[in-house]
Amino acid sequence: MRTILLVGEDALLLDSRAAVLSRTKAGTLNASQYEVAVYRSQRFDLLVLCHTLRQGDRIAVAELARHQWPEIPILQVLQYEWEQFVTLKYADQFVLSCDPGKLLQRATELLEKPLKQSRRTISDHLSPAADKQSATNFLR
């Protein structure tokens, strides 16, 4: 069974996100930023970073994940569209927090892709193709 790790600071909101993501048929685990290290030895298929993490913490968790689980895609839940430009290289997909339908769609897409193909490389993000427009397309 596939597993999604959700990281955020509001337990109640995280629970409701986990309920939405359980529709992917994957198991879900919720953690605060301080609990992520506990799961280091565990295997995941998708990491979801909640907008309740402050930006610095979100980047720190994403960097830890890239190191610990380099093949695992990261889906960032954002409160505002502009945030994607700040954390662009730390995510494979973005979704706005107010759109559970899109959250489910993006998570399903990432879970269905083979792990290596689901990852965008940093060079992808820095290439001319990853300009503002293509970044904006993450949210569509």
Partner 1 sequence: MSDHAGQRYSPETLFLVQVLNHLEALGNLNYLMNADAEDAQTVHSYVKQSEDILQQVAALVRSRSSIAV
Contact positions vs partner 1 (CB under 8 A): 9-10, 12-13, 15-17, 19-20, 23, 52, 54-56, 83, 97-98, 100-101
Q: From the CB of 134, what's the least distance to partner 1, in Å?
A: 24
Question: Least distance to partner 1 from the beta carbon of 103, Å?
Answer: 8
The residue among 102 and 120 lying less far from partner 1, judged by its C-beta, is: 102
CA-to-CA distance for 131 and 110, rounded, in angstroms?
A: 22
CB of 47 or CB of 77, closer to partner 1: 77
Give 17 or 119: the residue with its C-beta nearer to partner 1.
17
Angstrom distances, CA of residue 16 to CA of 41, 59, 69, 101: 26, 23, 25, 13
Alpha-carbon distance of 26 to 64, in angstroms, equals 22
* Min separation Cβ 70 and partner 1, Å: 26
Whose Cβ is closer to partner 1: residue 10's or residue 109's? 10
**How far is it, in rounded angstroms, from Cα 109 to Cα 118?**
9
Backbone angles phi, psi at 130, to 5 degrees: -90, 45
Angle, helix 100-112 to helix 11-21, in steps of 10 degrees: 60
What is the closest distance, in whole angstroms, from the C-beta atom of residue 55 to partner 1 in the complex?
4
Instruction: Specify the residue, 10 or 68, whose C-beta has the smaller distance to partner 1.
Output: 10
Q: Which two tokens stand for residue 21?
A: 């993501």
Smallest separation (angstroms) from partner 1 to the CB of 12? 5
